[in-house]
């Protein structure tokens, strides 16, 4: 039970950082990866408690790596075109 509570605390801390640092893309990506890792941690705890096999965890981990690579490629293209990764320095709608 303590592992599950610590996973929930990790999840909500990641969400708080994601909401508070919404102007800076790199910090948003890092907090989003922290949320994904906390979800992975909670999935592993649930699978361990119910003695399921861990194949789904590998699929989830693969999708989270693809999401992280996509976010980093967007960050690199934004830094190359605009010079920084702050949302306030350019207009997203244009």
**Which domains are delineated in the chain?**
2-89 (1.10.287.3510)
So what's the pLDDT on residue 93? 45
So what's the pLDDT on residue 14?
92
| Residues 56-73: b if buried by 16+ CB within 10 A, e if exposed | eeeebbeebeeeeeebee
What does the mean pLDDT of the chain come to?
A: 84
Residue-wise pLDDT tens digits, 62-84 = 999 998 899 888 888 877 877 77
Distance between CA atoms of residues 42 and 63, nearest Å = 16
Locate tokens 């190359």: which residue?
Answer: 80
- The answer on pLDDT for 88 being more than 80 is no
**For residues 28 and 21, is the Cβ–Cβ distance under 8 A?**
yes
Of 67 and 54, the structure prediction assigns the larger pLDDT to: 67
pLDDT at 56: 84
Beta-carbon contacts of residue 47 (< 8 Å; ≥ 6 apart): 53, 54, 56, 57
In this structure, what are the phi and psi dihedrals at residue 86, rounded to the nearest 5 degrees?
-90, 135
- Please compute the mean of the pLDDT values over residues 53-64 and round it to a whole number: 86
């Amino acid at each position: 039970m303590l592992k599950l509570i610590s996973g929930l605390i990790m999840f909500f801390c990641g969400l708080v950082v994601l909401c508070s640092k919404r102007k800076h893309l790199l910090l948003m990506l890092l907090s989003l990866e922290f949320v994904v890792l906390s979800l992975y941690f909670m999935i592993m705890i649930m699978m361990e408690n119910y003695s399921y096999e861990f194949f789904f965890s590998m699929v989830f981990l693969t999708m989270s790596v693809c999401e992280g690579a996509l976010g980093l490629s967007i960050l690199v293209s934004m830094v190359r075109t605009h010079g920084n990764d702050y949302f306030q320095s350019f207009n997203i709608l244009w």
